[in-house]
Each structure stands twice: as structure tokens, then as C-alpha cells.
Amino acid sequence: MADTRPRADIEHEVWKAGLAAGLGDARDLPLDAHLHTIRSPDADAMLEAYCALAVERGIAELAITDHVDFDPTMPAYGFASFADRERDVREAAARWADRGLAIRFGVEVTYERRAENEIRAWLARHPHDYVIGSVHISAASPYKASNVASFVAGRSLADIVAPYFDEVIGAARSGLFDTIGHLDFVKRYLVPHVLPADLAAAPELYEPVLEALVESGTALEVNVSGLRQLPRETYPAAPIVARYRALGGGHVTIGSDAHRTEWFSYGLSEAYRLVTAAGYDALAFRRGERRVAVPIRNPT
């Protein structure tokens, strides 16, 4: 029978079950490239708390990637100024440098094809160390809880994912981003109408998305948040990472996408294992200049 509790309640249980299974035990890893602080409207974590946990757990480098939206109906539109975000991160970086922690000034931009020129101009005027481009679910999206049941009814799986994947392809081909965040985040919004297993059974739907990544040189992010959300698997799952590599994809990165202090580093070891199993020995990252390779040390 379908679980009709609010999504947040179910996901809280998913998170706690993961803790019991050891997903909270990440230690001694080189990078978490996706984190949100109170400068994101949907996050309540203090940057200082992440830094303290990172030092305690041996996570050597963090990218702070608060949201920036270009659609006035989206929550991060005008939420935090570039100056405030940059000051927070640069000051924290200076405070924590002598404790062996590196902190980079990143951003997670919500990509929309119709706003691409505006995003391009803004990024040119607002340099960051590292830029994630992600497709999110707006109020008008067919995947919004109030819309999704009627949207999926009578549609093929290809037609169901097309609006999301078409935007992801646009984000990759725009060339604006170091990486694409949570490649198949749409999985979260399709449960219970379409399950992660349904998507896993149709890997061909990912081919044009992965080709766009490979051809544009955009990195694939393995986003851990799916492990504490309804899909109970990373965005994307292991077979998609393996397929990206088979297609010639040379650049992967890893992000916890934590929005709360207690989510910090949750599931990170799992993502490192997944990426290592796919054959990668380094993560793709940027520290303001060119792309760099961050070697994966001692995956556990």
C-alpha cells in the first residue's frame, strides 16, 4: 500500500535508518563539493558547524554551494547577496586554514533554459571557485506534488522524464557549469508513481543526458542526498555512473548536498565507494582557476 505520510516524515525515517546502517560514519575523505548554509532558504546549517565537523571527521575540503535562482517564483531568488555569501565563505576559509581545512566559494545555480543568457551574464560578473548547475522543481513544474499524479497518468516513462532531462541536457550543453548537480533528482518527485527501479530498467533514457555531459566536458556529480530521500539511492545510481565512464566520461565529483548540520558527510563514504568501483581515482573540482583533479585517498 502506498505510504501517504508527508514526504518529510518518510525521509526522516530513511535518514535514521541510514544512520543505523552506518551512513553517518564518513571519515578521512578529501572533498565534499556540495553544501548549503543559512544563506540558502531551505537550509538551517551554520557554516561554522560544518567546519568543526569536517575537522573532526577528516573531510579535508568543502565547497559551500548555496542556492541562486533566476526565477522570481523560486525561493532562493534574491535570498542572499553575492557579497554576503562570499564574505561568509572567505572569512571562514581564513579562520579554518590553519586547522587543515580548505573551504571554497561555490554556488548552486538553478538552471533554466529560458534564463540561460541571464545566468551566463551573472556568472561572468560574479566569479566563484566552483559552480554547480542544477535543475530544480518550481511551483509550475509538472513534478510538483499537486501536479505529478495527473502528469504521469497515461504518459510513457520517456515522456514523464523528458521535461526534466531536457533541461539537464540544456544545462550541460550551456558549458556554464563545472558539474551538473543531482542529475536525476526527478526520481524523488516521481515516487510513488514511478519508482527508481522503473528508471533503472530504462537506462536508455539517460543516454542523451550522459552524452551531453561527455561532449561538453561537464562533470557528473554523485549526489548523496538521494540516500536520505525517497529514492534511497544516489543521484544518479551506480549503473549510470558506470555508463558515463563507458561513454568516455572523465570527470566525476561528489557532494553530500547537506542542508542541516546533522546531514553533514552523511552517505559520503558510500559515494566514494561507488565512484571508485566505477574506476575513478580522482574527483573533478575547481578552485577558481582551471579544473583540478582531487585524488581519492584510501577509499574505505
Q: Is 76 exposed, middle or buried (0-12, 13-18, 19+ CB in 10 A)?
A: buried
Which of 61, 88, 108, 167 is the binder for Zn ion (CB under 5 A)? 108
* Contact predicate 258/47, CB 8 Å: no
For 271, other C-beta atoms within 10 Å of its C-beta total 28
Rule CB under 5 A: say whether 134 interacts with Zn ion.
yes
For 162, other C-beta atoms within 10 Å of its C-beta total 14
Rule CB under 5 A: say whether 221 interacts with Zn ion.
no
| Interface stretch with Zn ion, choices 8-16, 68-76, 156-164, 179-187 (CB under 5 A) | 179-187
Which residue has the CB atom at the shortest distance from Zn ion? 134
For 57, other C-beta atoms within 10 Å of its C-beta total 17
Calpha distance 57→54 (Å, rounded) = 5
Query: Considering the complex, what minimum distance in angstroms separates the CB of residue 279 from Zn ion?
Result: 26
Rule CB under 5 A: say whether 257 interacts with Zn ion.
yes
Evaluated on CA atoms 135, 178, 35, 254, the torsion sign reads: positive
User: What single-letter amino acid sits at 267?
Assistant: G
| Interface stretch with Zn ion, choices 127-135, 146-154, 188-196, 212-220 (CB under 5 A) | 127-135
Helix axes 157-174, 207-216, angle to 10 degrees: 0
Grid cell listed for 202: 530504462
Query: Considering the complex, what minimum distance in angstroms separates the CB of residue 106 from Zn ion?
Result: 10
Rule CB under 5 A: say whether 61 interacts with Zn ion.
no
Grid cell listed for 17: 535508518
Calpha distance 98→169 (Å, rounded) = 41
Distance set, CA 78 to CA 47, 113, 116, 180, 265 (Å): 20, 19, 17, 22, 28
Q: Which residues pair with 98 in a beta bridge?
A: none
Cβ closest to Zn ion, residue 224 vs residue 241: 224
Number of residues near Zn ion (by CB under 5 A): 4
| Interface stretch with Zn ion, choices 134-142, 155-163, 264-272, 284-292 (CB under 5 A) | 134-142
| Interface stretch with Zn ion, choices 9-17, 43-51, 78-86, 173-181 (CB under 5 A) | 173-181
User: In this structure, what DSSP letter does residue 30 have?
Assistant: S
* Contact predicate 182/219, CB 8 Å: no
Cβ closest to Zn ion, residue 108 vs residue 112: 108
Rule CB under 5 A: say whether 112 interacts with Zn ion.
no
Cβ closest to Zn ion, residue 88 vs residue 257: 257
- Which x/- pattern over 15-44 shows residues binding Zn ion (rule: CB under 5 A)? ------------------------------
Cβ closest to Zn ion, residue 137 vs residue 245: 137
Query: Considering the complex, what minimum distance in angstroms separates the CB of residue 15 from Zn ion?
Result: 16
- Which x/- pattern over 258-297 shows residues binding Zn ion (rule: CB under 5 A)? ----------------------------------------
As a residue count, the chain comes to 300
The binding site for Zn ion (CB under 5 A) comprises: 108, 134, 181, 257
